[in-house]
Every structure is written in structure tokens, then in C-alpha cells.
Amino acid sequence: MSAIRLAVTVVSTAIAVSRHPAVRAGVQAVVNNPKARDTAINTTRNAAYNAGVLARHLLGRNKS
């Protein structure tokens, strides 16, 4: 599976999941709780950083 096709699949799945009422209720609960919001932000940043590190290891630094 090409990288573009994989990216499209991930994005479309994320959009479908985000429309689910249970997910929306969970997000609303996190938004209303400052401690949970900070934890969610830090977790998201760490996951994004780790995904970037993994991508650099898989693709190398000179590829785009």
C-alpha cells in the first residue's frame, strides 16, 4: 500500500470515527476538564513526535 493511499485511509477513518456520538461526548468531557485537556494535548504531541521519529527511521532523513 502506498504512503498516499495509507494517509487517505487514516484520514477518512479518523473523520468517520470523529462523527460517532460516543466519541463526541468523550471529546466534550475532555474539553470541559482542564487537567484532562492538558493530558490529551501532551499525549497528542508525544504521539505526533513519535510518529515523526518513526517516519524518519523508515524513510530516512533525505527523503520527502
Give the pLDDT score at 55. 85
Global pTM value: 0.56
Give the pLDDT score at 63. 57
Task: Give the distance between the most distant pair of CA atoms in the chain.
Answer: 42
Average pLDDT per consecutive 10 residues, the chain (64 residues; last block may be shorter) = 82 90 89 90 93 86 63
Q: What are the boundaries of each domain within the chain?
A: 1-32, 34-64
